[in-house]
C-alpha cells in the first residue's frame, strides 16, 4: 500500500481576461495572472477579492488584492493600483468564480505511509496524502488527497477526511466524523436560485485534539478552519467554516458553531449551545447548555439562556417566572 509521492503545490492560474469572460463582466485591458480568491484583508497581488457588505468597506483602502469585484459606486474607493471588476452582484459573481478555482474532490495516485503506521487494508487514500509514524487508521476510513496526519494520531472506522486537511500529533477522531466538508454557503440570484460557494480553504487540527463520533468540521471558504491544541470536542458537534477554536476549549454534544465564530482559549460550551457566527468569545468563558450567543463576548464569565445573559441573572429570571406561574 505504501507508495512514494511528491506533494504538489496546488495552484490554478488564469488571466484576468479569462475570468471576466467566465463571469460575463466587462474586462479591463489586463493579462494579469490570478491564482486564487481571498478576503479584502488577506488577498495578495495575484488574487481576486470582493466587496458585498458595507461593513467590510474599511478594508478597501489597504487591500493588496490584484482585482476586486465591486459595485460601480465603490470602485473609486480602491487604491489606484487595484483593478476594479464592476458588477451589480459581487457576491453572486464570487460564488460563480469559486467553481473555477476548486480542485477535484478525489484523485488517485501516490501517497506516503510511514512504516510504523497501522492502516487497515479497507482504507481509501487519495493522491499526495501523508500518514505519519505510529498513526492508526481503522477500517473503511477515507483519507482524501493531500491530507496530512502526523505522528501518533488515531482515526476510527468510517471517518472521512476531505482533501488538503492537516491533522497534528496525537489527535483522536472517533467513528463517523467528517472533517473538511464544504460549509453551508450559497449566493442567491434575483430569481431565487441558490448558487453554491465552493469552499477553497482547508481544516487544520493541531496536536492533542480529540473529536467525538459523528462530528462535522467544515473547511474554510478561504484560509483555514482551525482547531487549536488540546481542544476536546464531543459527539454530534457542528463546526462551521472559518471557525477558530482556542487552545484547550471544550465543546459538549450538539454544540453548533456558525461560520467565522472565534473562541478564545479554554472556552467551554455546554450541550446544545450555539453561536450566530462572525463573533468572538473571550478566553475562559463558559456558555451553559442551550445558551445562544448572538454577539461578541468581551468579558470572560459564565453565561446562559437566550437571549444570552450572565448565568446568575438567567437563574434569577427562571425563579421569577416560576413564581409568576405558581400565582396563576
Q: Residue 168: its pLDDT value, please?
A: 98
Global confidence as pTM: 0.94
| Residue 281: pLDDT over 90 | yes
| Residue 294: pLDDT over 80 | yes
Q: Which residue is it, cell 493541531?
A: 206
pLDDT in tens, 85-136: 999 999 999 999 999 999 999 999 999 999 999 999 999 999 999 999 999 9
Angle between helices 16-23 and 90-101 (to 10 degrees): 120
Q: Distances in Å between the alpha carbon of 280 and those of 51, 172, 230? A: 22, 26, 19
Please enumerate, as own/partner, the contacts of 128-131 that have beta carbons within 8 Å and a separation of 24 or more. Answer: 128/5, 128/7, 128/8, 130/7
Mean pLDDT of 186-212: 98
pLDDT in tens, 225-278: 999 999 999 999 999 999 999 999 999 999 999 999 999 999 999 999 999 999
Q: Quote the mean pLDDT of the chain.
A: 95
Q: Residue 9: its pLDDT value, please?
A: 52
Per-residue pLDDT band for 1 (boundaries 50, 70, 90) equals: very low
Q: Before 307, cis peptide (omega within 30)? A: yes
Alpha carbon distance 84, 74 (integer Å) = 9
What radius of gyration do the chain's Cα atoms show?
Answer: 22
Mean pLDDT of 270-293: 97
Catalytic residue among 188, 194, 241, 311: 241
Q: Residue 31: its pLDDT value, please?
A: 86
Do 14-101 and 112-312 fold alike per CATH?
A: no
HSE-CB at 225 with a 13 A cutoff on CA atoms is 31
Q: What DSSP state is assigned to residue 76?
A: T
HSE-CB at 10 with a 13 A cutoff on CA atoms is 17
Q: Give the CATH architecture of domain 112-312.
A: 3 Solenoid (2.160)
pLDDT over 90, % of the chain:
92
Q: What is the H or E stretch that residue 36 is in?
A: strand 36-37
- 241 is known as an active-site residue: yes
| Residue 4: pLDDT over 50 | no
**Structural domain spans, the chain:** 14-101, 112-312
Q: What is the H or E stretch that residue 324 is in?
A: helix 311-327
**Which of 109, 264, 234 has the alpha carbon at shortest distance from 174?**
234
Please enumerate, as own/partner, the contacts of 167-170 that have beta carbons within 8 Å and a separation of 24 or more. Answer: 167/205, 168/205, 168/206, 168/207, 168/208, 168/209, 168/229, 169/132, 169/207, 169/208, 170/207, 170/208
Please enumerate, as own/partner, the contacts of 64-72 that have beta carbons within 8 Å and a separation of 24 or more. Answer: 65/38, 65/40, 66/16, 66/32, 66/34, 67/16, 67/28, 67/32, 67/34, 68/40, 69/93, 69/94, 69/97
Per-residue pLDDT band for 146 (boundaries 50, 70, 90) equals: very high
* CATH of segment(s) 14-101: 3.40.1390.10
Amino acid at each position: 500500500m505504501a507508495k512514494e509521492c511528491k506533494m504538489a503545490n496546488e495552484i490554478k492560474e488564469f488571466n484576468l481576461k479569462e475570468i471576466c469572460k467566465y463571469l460575463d463582466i466587462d474586462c479591463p485591458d489586463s493579462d494579469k495572472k490570478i491564482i486564487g480568491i481571498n478576503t479584502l484583508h488577506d488577498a495578495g497581488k495575484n488574487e481576486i477579492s470582493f466587496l458585498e457588505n458595507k461593513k467590510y468597506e474599511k478594508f478597501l483602502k489597504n487591500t493588496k488584492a490584484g482585482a476586486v469585484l465591486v459595485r460601480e459606486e465603490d470602485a473609486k474607493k480602491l487604491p489606484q493600483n487595484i483593478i476594479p471588476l464592476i458588477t451589480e452582484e459581487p457576491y453572486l459573481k464570487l460564488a460563480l468564480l469559486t467553481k473555477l478555482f476548486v480542485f477535484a474532490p478525489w484523485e488517485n495516485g501516490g501517497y506516503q505511509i510511514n512504516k510504523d503506521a497501522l492502516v487497515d487494508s479497507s482504507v481509501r487514500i487519495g493522491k499526495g496524502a501523508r500518514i505519519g509514524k505510529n498513526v492508526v487508521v481503522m477500517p473503511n476510513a477515507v483519507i482524501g488527497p493531500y491530507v496530512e496526519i502526523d505522528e501518533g494520531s488515531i482515526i476510527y472506522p468510517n471517518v472521512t477526511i476531505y482533501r488538503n486537511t492537516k491533522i497534528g500529533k496525537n489527535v483522536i477522531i472517533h467513528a463517523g466524523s467528517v472533517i473538511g466538508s464544504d460549509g453551508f454557503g450559497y449566493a442567491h440570484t434575483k430569481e431565487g436560485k441558490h448558487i453554491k460557494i465552493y469552499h477553497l480553504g482547508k481544516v487544520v487540527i493541531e496536536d492533542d485534539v480529540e473529536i467525538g463520533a459523528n462530528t462535522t468540521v467544515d473547511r474554510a471558504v478561504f484560509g483555514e478552519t482551525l482547531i487549536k491544541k488540546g481542544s476536546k470536542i464531543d459527539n454530534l458537534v457542528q463546526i462551521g467554516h472559518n471557525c477558530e477554536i482556542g487552545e484547550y476549549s471544550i465543546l459538549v454534544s450538539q454544540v453548533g458553531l456558525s461560520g467565522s465564530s472565534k473562541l478564545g482559549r479554554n472556552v467551554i460550551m455546554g450541550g446544545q449551545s450555539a453561536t450566530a457566527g462572525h463573533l468572538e468569545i473571550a478566553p475562559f468563558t463558559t456558555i451553559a447548555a442551550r445558551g445562544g450567543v448572538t454577539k461578541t463576548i468581551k468579558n470572560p464569565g459564565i453565561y446562559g439562556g437566550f437571549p444570552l445573559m450572565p448565568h446568575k441573572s438567567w437563574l434569577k429570571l427562571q425563579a421569577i417566572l416560576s413564581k409568576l406561574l405558581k400565582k396563576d
